């Protein structure tokens, strides 16, 4: 190519070249066209928006899928996704590209607020009930640490829990994470944030293969119902919920998706129910149906 022709080449070609590295640097040829096609499909399926800086994440996670499928390049993989025979791959694509970073008692101020504000308020409301009722939803539960932490908080706060009808709904779009949460078994070192008294009462330490693991006890498991769910599709639950945890999920949606999900949360919350978001999320410019009552903690308004 002459220098003049090089200067007149479209800017998009430079962008494509920056995403398509040499064979020595990448195992599979990967271009901006591949990224855009995959990003558009993910947004269509889940509402999750993949920003351009997620290129390396998309490549590294999907390169594993190409190896598993024995495919030569991303041309073949993208064609497979678009074909009828690729329907079974869609769920695996979503699982590969959704981020699942979590831990026990993550952002502890939310659990403190649940224990000191929400649960006492529910106890007062249900004081005269023969079977007091409590409903909490962990929306985007990942591998289960969040709903188990909620269950631990409830068990440590409500003294006559055996009388209560307690249901903690835990959902996630990633079916692999839902199965991990159902197993309720975690590496011992991942459970260091669990208070010792709670840990000894509600979990058991076991040897599994070459490692020590912590298994969640039946007292916690019995409170939790785990289901796969895409937040941008129809919701089968009716509520009302006393609290909803939806932390570090909305950051992956565009403004329309966030507004839609938050509006539906408001409909499902009890009259003065609470919503907990992630540390980098807020309702500013998204909804005026809540008032802020603490760091990323909101209460529904009529």
What tens digit of pLDDT does each residue of 108-135 get?
Answer: 999 999 999 999 999 999 999 999 999 9
Question: Does the structure show a pLDDT above 70 at 282?
Answer: yes
87-97 vs 175-183: helix crossing angle, rounded to 10: 70
How much is the average pLDDT of 279-292?
91
Of all residues in the chain, the percent with pLDDT exceeding 90 is 67
Dmax (CA) of the chain: 85
pLDDT number for residue 20: 44
Helical H segments across the chain, by residue range: 3-8, 11-19, 32-46, 55-69, 74-82, 87-97, 108-113, 119-125, 145-157, 175-183, 196-202, 218-221, 255-268
Least confident residue range of 49-53, 204-208, 259-263, 298-302: 49-53
pLDDT number for residue 296: 93
pLDDT number for residue 136: 98
DSSP state of 144: T
Mean pLDDT computed over every residue of the chain:
88
Name, in order, each residue with C-beta under 8 angstroms of 281's C-beta and a sequence gap of 6 or more: 247, 248, 250, 251, 296
Question: Does the structure show a pLDDT above 60 at 5?
Answer: no
Using alpha carbons, list the distances in angstroms from residue 85 to 28, 72, 80, 89, 204: 22, 17, 7, 9, 44
pLDDT number for residue 9: 38
Q: How confident is the model at residue 4 (pLDDT cuts 50, 70, 90)?
A: very low
Question: Does the structure show a pLDDT above 90 at 47?
Answer: no
Of all residues in the chain, the percent with pLDDT exceeding 70 is 91
Query: Is 61 in the active site?
Result: yes
User: What does residue 37 show for φ and ψ, rounded to 5 degrees?
Assistant: -65, -45
Name, in order, each residue with C-beta under 8 angstroms of 36's C-beta and a sequence gap of 6 or more: none
pLDDT tens string 159-207:
999 999 999 999 999 999 999 999 999 999 888 899 999 999 999 999 9
Using alpha carbons, list the distances in angstroms from residue 134 to 124, 201, 223, 239: 12, 22, 10, 10
What is the DSSP secondary-structure string of 15-71? HHHHHS--TTT-SS---HHHHHHHHHHHHHHH-B---GGGHHHHHHHHHHHHHHHT-
Structural domains of the chain sorted by starting position, each given as residue range(s) with its CATH number in brackets: 3-97 (1.10.155.10), 108-184+218-300 (3.40.50.150)
Q: Which of 32, 106, 135, 172 is catalytic?
A: 172
Name, in order, each residue with C-beta under 8 angstroms of 226's C-beta and a sequence gap of 6 or more: 141, 144, 147, 170, 171, 178, 181, 182
Q: How confident is the model at residue 21 (pLDDT cuts 50, 70, 90)?
A: very low
pLDDT number for residue 100: 64
Query: Is 73 in the active site?
Result: no
Global model pTM greater than 0.85: no
Phi-psi region of 199 (alpha: psi -120 to 50; beta: other; left: phi over 0): alpha
CB crowding 286-301: b at 16 or more within 10 Å, else e: bbebbeeeeebbbbbe
β-strand pairing of 269-277 with 297-300: antiparallel
pLDDT tens string 57-101:
899 989 999 999 999 999 999 999 989 888 878 878 887 887 666
Of 26 and 40, which is predicted with more confidence? Answer: 40
Q: Which of 26, 61, 125, 201 is catalytic?
A: 61
Name, in order, each residue with C-beta under 8 angstroms of 192's C-beta and a sequence gap of 6 or more: none
Question: Does the structure show a pLDDT above 90 at 248?
Answer: no
């Amino acid at each position: 190519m002459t220098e003049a022709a090089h200067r007149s080449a479209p800017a998009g070609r430079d962008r494509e070249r920056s995403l398509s590295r040499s064979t020595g640097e990448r195992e599979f040829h990967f271009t901006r066209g591949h990224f855009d096609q995959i990003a558009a499909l993910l947004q269509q399926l889940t509402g999750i928006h993949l920003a351009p800086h997620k290129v390396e994440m998309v490549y590294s996670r999907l390169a594993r899928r190409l190896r598993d499928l024995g495919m030569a390049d991303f041309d073949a993989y993208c064609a497979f996704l678009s074909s009828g025979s690729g329907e079974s791959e869609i769920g695996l694509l979503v699982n590969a590209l959704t981020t699942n970073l979590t831990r026990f008692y993550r952002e502890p101020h939310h659990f403190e607020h649940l224990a000191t504000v929400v649960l006492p308020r529910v106890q007062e409301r249900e004081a005269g009930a023969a079977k007091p009722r409590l409903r909490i939803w962990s929306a985007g539960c990942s591998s289960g640490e969040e709903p188990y932490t909620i269950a631990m908080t409830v068990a440590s706060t409500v003294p006559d829990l055996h009388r209560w009808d307690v249901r903690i709904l835990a959902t996630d779009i990633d079916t692999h994470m839902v199965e991990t949460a159902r197993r309720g078994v975690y590496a011992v070192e991942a459970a260091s944030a669990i208070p010792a008294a709670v840990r000894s009462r509600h979990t058991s330490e076991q040897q599994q293969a070459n490692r020590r693991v912590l298994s969640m006890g039946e007292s916690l498991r019995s409170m939790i119902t785990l289901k796969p769910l895409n937040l941008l599709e129809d919701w089968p639950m009716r509520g009302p919920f006393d609290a909803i945890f939806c932390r570090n999920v909305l950051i992956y949606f565009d403004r329309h998706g966030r507004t839609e999900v938050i509006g539906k949360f408001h409909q499902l919350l009890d009259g003065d129910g609470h919503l907990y978001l992630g540390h980098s999320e807020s309702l500013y410019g998204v909804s005026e149906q809540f008032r802020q009552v603490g760091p990323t903690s909101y209460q529904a308004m009529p």
